[in-house]
Structure 1
Amino acid sequence: MTHPCPHAALHDPRFHADPQAVLQRLRDTHGPVVPVELEPGVRAWLVIDYTIITAWCRDTRTFSRDARRWRDWRAGRVRDDARVVPMMAYRPNAMFADGDRHLRLRRAVTDALGRAEAHRIAADARGFAHRLIDGFCARGRADLLADYARQLPLLVLTRLVGFGDNAGRRLAEAVRGMWDGTDAERANAAYERTLSEAVTAKSARPGDDVLSRLMAHDAGLSREEVLHHLVLILGIGDESTANLIGNTMRLLLTDREFAADLAGSRVGIDDAVDRALWSDPPVTNFPVLYPVRDIELAGGRIIREGTPILLGLGAANRFLADQYRERIQETANRAHLAWGVGPHRCPAQDIARMIAGNGVEILVERLPELRLAVPESELRWRNSPFARALTALPVVFTPQPPERVREQAEQTATVPAAEGEPRHRDARADTGTEDPRGGARPSRPRRRDRWRRGR
C-alpha cells in the first residue's frame, strides 16, 4: 500500500486557508508522514515532523536530491508540462546534487556569495527601501506586497548578482509563475531565456559581482551550471525573501501582543523575523527528497523508491512550537527549519535576513501608523504547493511628504547588522572601529526598536 486516502490537496485554495488544521487531521490518521497531491494526478508524500526532517535530510545514503530519480516522471505518468515540473524537475545546480558533486557546486556558490560585503548589501537594502517608500508614502495607502516586499529583494539581489533592473523585473514575474504553477512552462522558458542573455552579456564584461565570481570559480562550472545556479540564487532568494518581508509585516499588523512587545522594546525586528520564520516560513513543502530504496513507515505503508518526499518545514515548525511554545517564545531561538537542515542548508540565509530585517525596520520606522486596510479575515494566501505567501497586504497610514518622512527616518534609523554583529546600529554610526569582516563596527550603544501600531 503506497498512497492511502485521504490526502492533502496542496493545489486546493481551501488547504491554504488553514493548512495546519488539515495537516493535523492527517497527522492524527497517518502519523508524521502524510500523502499529498500537488496537482490533480501528481502524488507525493509530505513529512511534517521536525525530528524526521532533520534525520532524513542528513541521511544522504538513503535520500537523494537528484530529481531524475522521480519515479512517476521517469515513467511518463507526470507530463513535462505539469504545473509543478519547473520547480521539481532536475537542474544542474547544488539543490539537486549529491555527494562530491554537491560539494563542488556548493563551494562555488558559498564562495561567490561570501565575497559580497555585508555593509554594501545592508546599504543597498536601506537605500532601495527608502526609494520604494518614497513612491507611496504620500498616498496614505499601499499594497505592501506589490509596492514593497516583492520589489525590495529583487532590487538588492539583481545588483548583487550583477544584473540590471530590467532583467530583474522580467525574472521576478517568471519566478512567481513557476512557484504558483500558473503557466509554469512558459514562465520557466522566459526565466531561462533572460538568464542566458545575462550570462552572455556578463561573459563579455565581467565585474565584481556574484555572476562573474561563479563563472571564474576554480570549481569549473559550465555555462549551464552557472545559469542554473542563478535560478537557485535569484529564483529561491528573491521569492522567499519577498514572502518573508510580507509574512513578518502580517505578523506585526495582526498580532497585538507581539506588536506591543516590539513597541515596548521587549523584542526587536530580528525577533519578529524569526517569529515569522517559525509560524509562516516563506518556503514550505520544499525542497524534495527521493528515497533510493523503498521506505517502510508505521502501519505497513511503503514509500516507493523515487517517490517525491516534500519537506513540510512550516508544519514541522508549528508542531514543534506548539509543543515547546514558552521556551521558543522566551528565547526567540533560531532552531526553526525555515532555512533547511543538513548539507543542503541555505547558503544565502544571512543575506536574506539582512534584506528582510532592513526592509521591515525601515518600513515601520518611516510609517509608524501602519494598519491593515481590510479585516484580517479578508487576507488571502497564494495557491502555491511550495510557498507560504499572501496574495496582497493592503495597508493604510497617515500620508506624509517623502522628503520630510525620509529626513525624520534618517535621524533615528536603526538597521540590523550582519550575522554575529550587534543586532542594531545607528545608520549614522558607520565611522567606528573597523570590523575584520568588513565595514565599520558601531561605536554607539544599541538603539532600541521603536514602533507603535496604529489602529
Structure 2
Amino acid sequence: MTTPSHSHRGADEPISPPPGCPAHGLGPGGLRRLYGSEAESDLAGIYEKLRAEHGSVAPVLVHDDVPMWAVIGHTETLHMLRTRSHFTRDSRRMRVVQDGTFAPDNPLAPMVTWAPLISFAEGAEHQRVRGAINDALSTIDDRGLRRFIHRSSQRLVNEFCEKGTADLVSQFAEHLPMAVMCEVLGMPDEYNERLVQAGRDMTKGTATAVESNEYVMSVLYRHTARRRAQPEEDFTSRLIAHPAQLTDDEVAQNLRVVLIAAYEGTANLMANVLRMVLTDPRFRAQLNGGQMTVPEAIEQSLWDEPPMNAQVGYVATEDAELGGQRIKAGDGIMYVIAAGNLDPVIRPDLKASMAGNRAHLAFGGGPHECPGQDIARSIADVGVDALLMRLPDAELAVDEKELRWRQTLIARHLVDLPVMFTPRPPQDVKLRPTMGRVPSPRKEWEVSSPPPRPQATSPAAAVPAQASAAERSDQPLVATPPPSPTGEGERPKGALQRLLRWWRGY
C-alpha cells in the first residue's frame, strides 16, 4: 500500500501512537483502523475524519492490519465500479493476498477470498455466469413471489400477534428474507434458525464467520446435488439447466451470493425502515397520510442507512489515479456505501428528501451491480406493508436512545426493535403458494371501472360464487382471466383499490 504523497506526517513523528494515546484507532504507518473498539462505536465518525484528512479516497487498515484504500466519495466509487480496465474484482491479483498478508483465516475471508462465482468473475467469464443468473431470475413470477412474501409475513406475525409485544428484528426482519430466499432457491425445508443465524454471522467479521460460511456452503452443496438429480421449477434448477453449463461448484457458490446478499441486506433494510416508522413522527404521519409510499420510504432508507456499509475485495490492475491519490497495481480497494451516500458533493443538505431517487450506492454499480435488488425491494415493500396493516398501532416499547446497534466493517445491524401493540387474533395463512411459471404478458393494462352487471334472468344465469380457499390452494400462480362480475351484495372495488391489490400481489 502506498502512502499518499500529501500526507502531513513528519519524519520525526512516531509511526504508531504510544500506549494510552487517544488516537488508539491508528495502526502501523499512522493509518486509521476500520475495526476494533473505536470502529465498532463510531465507524461513521472515522469515515468523516478520513474525508477531512484525505478527501474522497483514503488509506486504511482492515482486520489484522491489512492495508487497503477506502473510496468514500460517491463519484469516485461509481468511477471505480465502472472502469473495468483499471479495477477488478479478481482478488487473486491483490498484493496482500499474494504475499500472505491477508491470511485465509482473516474474518473478511468470506468476502475477499476468490471463488468461482459471479462476484469475482470478470470479462467473458463474468458475462457467462451473470447471464445464467439473470436468466434464472427473469423466470421468477413476480406476482407469485409477492403473494408468498405476504403470506410468509402473515405467518410470522401470527407467531406474536396475540402477545401484544414483539421484537421486530429477531422475530420478523431476520426471518422473512431467509424464508423467501429459501423458497426462491427451491429449498424451503432448509429454512431454520441455524441458517438464519449463520447468514447473519457471515458478514459480522467475527472469529466464527468462516465456520458459518462453511455451514451455509454445506447446505447449498447438498441442495445443488439434489436439484442436479431431480430438477424442479425453481431458481436452482434453472441455473443448473442453463446453456452456460455451470458446474456444481459454480452453482453452489453463486447460490451463496444470491442467498446471503439478498438475506443480509434485506433484513437490515426492513429493520431500518421499521425503526424509522416507529421513531420519526413526521415519517409515520407521511406514510399514514398517503404522502409517502412504502417503496419511497425504502429508497429514503437506502440513502440514509444503507443495509450494507461497504464492499471489499477490489484490486487495481495497473497504476492509476483516483480521487487525487496514486493507486498502485495490486493495491486492495474497498468502497464505502454509507460514506458515499453522505458525500457532501452530491448531498449538501442531508435533510432533503431523497424518496424516489435511486442514485444511491446501496446496490453497487457497473457490471457487478446487484442482480437481485428487485427481489430485495419486493421483500421489504410487501413485508413492511403487511406488518403495518396487521399492527397499525405498534409503538416502540423502549426509549429510542435504548436501541442497540452492532457495527462492523461490512454492515450495521439493529440488534433489536421491541414494540407493543393491541393483541390480535392470528389470521388464516395456511395456503402455501408455489413459485409458478412466468405469466404471459398482459395485452391491455388500462385500469377502468367494471362494466355494468347484467340482471340475472334466472338462477342459472346468476354469477357463481368465487372458489373457496381450499379449492384455490393447488392452483399454480399463473396469469388468469379477469374475475367475473361481483356477486350479489358485494360492492365493486374502485379502480384505485383494484390497482393496489394488483400491485401488492394479493
**Would you call these one fold, judging by a TM-score over 0.5?**
yes
CA distance in 2 between partners of 1:131 and 1:124 (Å): 10
Mapped to 2, the partners of 1:120 and 1:78 lie a distance apart of 44
Contact residue 11 and residue 383 of structure 1 kept, 8 A: no
| Aligned positions, number | 419
* Residue in 2 that maps onto 1:275: 300
Deviations 1:99-125 (A, max 9, x none): 111111100001001100001110010
Whole-Å separation in 2 of the counterparts to 1:83 and 1:274: 30
Q: Do residues 303 (structure 1) and 327 (structure 2) align?
A: yes
Query: 2:232 pairs with 180, 203, 207, which one?
Result: 207
Corresponding letter in the other structure for 1:290: V
- Structure 2 gaps, min length 5: 8-28, 430-444, 447-465, 467-477, 484-492, 501-506
Residue 361 (structure 1) aligns with: 385
| Residue equivalent to 1:135 | 159
Shift of 1:31: 0.4
1:33 aligns with 2:83: no
Deviation digits for residues 371-395 of structure 1 (CA, Å, limit 9, x no counterpart): 2222222222223211122122222
Q: Match for 1:116: what amino acid? A: I
The equivalent of 1:446 in structure 2 is 496
Q: CA deviation at 1:441?
A: 9.0
Matching residue of 1:58: 82
**In percent, how many aligned pairs have the same letter?**
36
User: 1:313 deviation in Å?
Assistant: 1.3
Letter in structure 1 aligned against 2:232 = G
Q: Aligned in 2, Cα 1:215/1:396: closer, same or farther, shift over 3 Å?
A: same
Match of 1:229 among 228, 231, 254: 254
Partner of 1:179 in structure 2?
203
Match of 1:146 in 2: 170
Residue 312 (str. 1) matches residue 336 (str. 2): yes
- Cα distance 1:386–1:438, how it changes in 2: closer, same or farther (>3 A)? farther
Specify the alignment match of 1:197 in structure 2: 222
Aligned to 1:242: 267
Report the 3-state secondary structure (helix = DSSP H, G, I; strand = E; otherwise coil) of the residue aligned with 1:335.
coil
Contact 1:8 1:23 in 2 (8 A): no
CA spacing shift, 1:272–1:315, aligned 2, 3 Å: same
Give the whole-Å Cα distance in 2 for the aligned partners of 1:31 and 1:446.
49
Displacement of 1:330 after TM fit? 6.5
1:432 maps to which residue? none
Q: Which runs of 5+ in 1 are unaligned?
A: 407-420, 423-427, 429-436, 450-455
Q: Contact 2:39–2:408 at 8 Å: present in 1 too?
A: no
* 1:252–1:272 contact (8 Å) kept in structure 2: no
CA contact (8 A) 1:119 1:438 kept: no
SS in 1 for 2:198: helix
Are 1:297 and 1:303, in contact at CA under 8 Å, matched by a contact in 2? yes
Sort the Cα spacing of 1:395 and 1:206 in 2 relative to 1 into closer, same or farther, 3 A.
Answer: same
Contact 2:105-2:210 at 8 Å conserved across structures: yes
Instruction: Select the structure that is richer in helix.
Output: 1
Structure 1 segment 17-416 matched on structure 2, within 5 A: 17-167=41-191, 169-182=193-206, 183-296=208-321, 301-319=325-343, 322-323=347-348, 325=350, 329=353, 332-403=356-427
Query: What SS does the aligned partner of 2:419 have?
Result: strand
Deviates more, 1:81-90 or 1:163-172: 163-172
How high is the TM-score relative to the length of structure 1?
A: 0.85
Whole-Å separation in 1 of the counterparts to 2:286 and 2:86: 44
Distance in 2, matches of 1:53 and 1:390, equals: 26
Deviation at 1:169, TM superposition (A): 4.3
TM-score by length of 2: 0.77
Q: Does the CA contact (< 8 Å) of 2:342 and 2:350 recur in 1?
A: no
How far is the alpha carbon of 1:331 from its aligned partner? 5.5
Equivalent pair of 1:70/1:290 in contact (CA under 8 Å): yes
Q: Deviations over 1:337-395 (max 9, x none)?
A: 11111111111111110111001011111111222222222222223211122122222
Q: 1:232 to 1:440 in 2, by over 3 A?
A: farther
